[in-house]
Amino acid sequence: MEFKAIVVDIDGTITYSDRSIDCRAVEALRGVKVPVVLATGNVLCFARAASKLVGTGGLVIAENGGVIECGIVEFDKSHMKMCEEAFKALNRHFPLERLDPENRITEIGLRRNFDVEKARHILNEFSELDIVDTGFAVHIKSRSINKGTGLKRLAELMGISALDFVAIGDSPNDIEMLKASGFGVAVGNAHPDLKKTAKMVTTGEHGAGVAEAIQHISGKTAI
Amino acid sequence: MEFKAIVVDIDGTITYSDRSIDCRAVEALRGVKVPVVLATGNVLCFARAASKLVGTGGLVIAENGGVIECGIVEFDKSHMKMCEEAFKALNRHFPLERLDPENRITEIGLRRNFDVEKARHILNEFSELDIVDTGFAVHIKSRSINKGTGLKRLAELMGISALDFVAIGDSPNDIEMLKASGFGVAVGNAHPDLKKTAKMVTTGEHGAGVAEAIQHISGKTAI
């Protein structure tokens, strides 16, 4: 099968666990001939900065699919009210710290300094809500938005299908993105749940895994 | 002389001219034992993202010195009204495009698609204003704020002097920063005006220049 693009998670996948960039991923992605999309749970201005620095031309999925950019910026704020209500309910139990409140527009990001399992229990009544722990932050978000839905819409704007993508990630919030893609890759350091979803699990971790995946695929088709 | 910290410009210095990161700079900066500050004309959220990805721990000078972060964020919005007036005056002559208007709080950034010399002439009456062309963007800003004033204040917050810094840059908007520092370095691709200010001009360009400067200084003192 021929792939027309790559979508790759940022934190933990093209970065080390301290969130600093892994230059092995940067070099590998720069060698690719097809468009590269960066996908993240982080906000748009972070995703844009990362795209500029990695040199991938500005195609991004931010806020776990809530915001996408492909020439134009699209976002879905419709679930924010519900997220705010859930935040208030949760804040009665934990002293929460919001991440980038001034820039995050479609979901709520929280510092990982509270018991996420207990939080899930407290928010049980919010059936449309999803609480995602990426290992870098906890996100209160709508179940109907994820990196998979973001990828499908971005692919549409690019005039291709999500199935034309190779998707590479490390975390549970990459599951839907890998499932929506044509070929899902989990890097060696990925969460076990993501590895179960992936068609390929690399031996290398972080950037080495990204380079390994790209080399594997480019041996079979032109990317 | 012993240096206690390094301050380095982002665009054109630790990046190539297309603004993508030069991994030679990343690796060199990661090998340094003293604190590394990233300085940029770009907005705080870009500077933060770059600091995270390069792995320099969050010490940043953004908006050409108008915003600094060192644990706390400090900014000076007092000249924004004058910048807005100048922008209005200029916009009567050119169709201007503002960069990051929602995130830029102490000055105005403009796309480089107009005649900067003509703009200087038009804004002649605004004697406290400075128009800086970094090669990446044009900034309408106060003359009293620059990367040099930003460095002095950041050094103060760090409990050291600006003279304890090695400063590395490529553009005219790095002149005051190099002058305020103890040892100013211009990378090989730097603007002639910056090279005149520098104590050292590297042979290497971009990241190779940064690596060369660090190697040169570490051969003489511990950094």
The tens digit of pLDDT for each residue in B60-90 reads 999 999 999 999 999 999 999 999 999 999 9
The better pLDDT of the pair B1, B22 is held by: B22
* Strand pairing category for B138-142 and B108-110: antiparallel
Q: Looking at residues A82-96, what average pLDDT do you find?
A: 94
B71 φψ region: left (φ > 0), alpha (ψ -120 to 50), beta (else): left
Of the listed ranges A116-125, B8-17, B157-166, the least confidently predicted one is: A116-125
Where is A45: in which H helix or E strand? helix A44-54
Please tell me the predicted confidence (pLDDT) of residue A218: 87
Q: What is the pLDDT of residues A27-46, one digit of tens each?
A: 999 999 999 999 999 999 99
pTM over 0.80: yes
Q: If pLDDT is split at 50, 70 and 90, which confidence band does B28 have?
A: very high
Residue A138 near residue A98 (C-beta atoms within 8 A): no
Give chain B's radius of gyration (CA, Å): 17
Residue B148 scores a pLDDT above 70:
yes
Q: Determine the residue of chain A that is closest to B10 in CA distance.
A: A53
Distance CA B210, CA B164 (A): 18
Q: How many CA atoms lie within 13 A of B127 on its CB side?
A: 0
| ipTM tops 0.90 | yes
| CA-to-CA separations, A64 to A22, A74, A178, B52, in angstroms, rounded | 21, 13, 13, 19
Mean pLDDT, residues A68-91 taken together: 95
Q: How far is residue A173's CA from residue A8's CA, in Å, rounded to a whole number?
A: 12
Give every strand in the sheet of B183-186, ordered side by side.
B72-75, B67-70, B60-62, B36-39, B5-9, B165-169, B183-186, B200-201
Indicate the DSSP class of residue A119: H
Q: What is the pLDDT of residue A222?
A: 67
A136 contacts chain B (CB < 8 A): no
Cβ within 8 Å of residue B193, ≥6 positions away? B172, B175
Which of B20, B40, B42, B48 is best to mutate for the A interface (most A CBs within 10 A)? Answer: B20
In this structure, the number of other CB atoms found within 10 A of the CB of residue B115 comes to 11
DSSP assigned state of A35: -
Per-chain mean pLDDT for chain B = 95
Q: Say yes or no to pLDDT of A102 above 90.
A: no
Contact A49 B54 (CB under 8 A): no
Contact present, A45 and A15 (Cβ < 8 Å) = no
pLDDT grade for A123, boundaries at 50, 70 and 90: very high
Out of A18, A53, A103, the one facing B55 most closely (by C-beta) is A18
Name the DSSP letter for residue B41.
Answer: S
* Chain CA centroid to CA A67, Å: 11
Query: Chain A within 8 Å of B125 (Cβ-Cβ)?
Result: no
Burial of B13 (0-12, 13-18, 19+ CB in 10 A): buried
pLDDT band with cut points at 50, 70 and 90 for residue A1: low
- Nearest one of A200, A198, A209 to A176, comparing CA atoms: A198
Q: Which residues of B touch A15 (CB under 8 A)?
A: 53
What DSSP designation does A64 have? G
For residue B219, the model assigns a pLDDT of 79
Dist CA A216 CA A38 (whole Å) = 20
Nearest to B23 among A23, A43, A103 (CB): A23
Query: Of A60-74, A166-180, B19-33, B91-105, which range is least confident?
Result: B91-105
Residue with tokens 């400063």: B167
Do B20 and A53 lie within an 8 Å CB cutoff?
yes
Pairwise CB contact (< 8 Å): B45 & A50: no
Q: What is the dihedral of CA B201, B202, B207, B208, to 10 degrees?
A: 180
Q: How far apart are CA A134 and CA A174, in angstroms?
A: 9
Which of A9, A14, A45 would best serve as a mutation to test chain B binding (most B beta carbons within 10 A)? A45
Angle among Cα A38, A105, A16 to the nearest 5 degrees reads: 35
Catalytic residue among B9, B76, B164, B170: B9
Q: Which of A184-188, B68-72, B97-101 has the lowest mean pLDDT?
A: B97-101
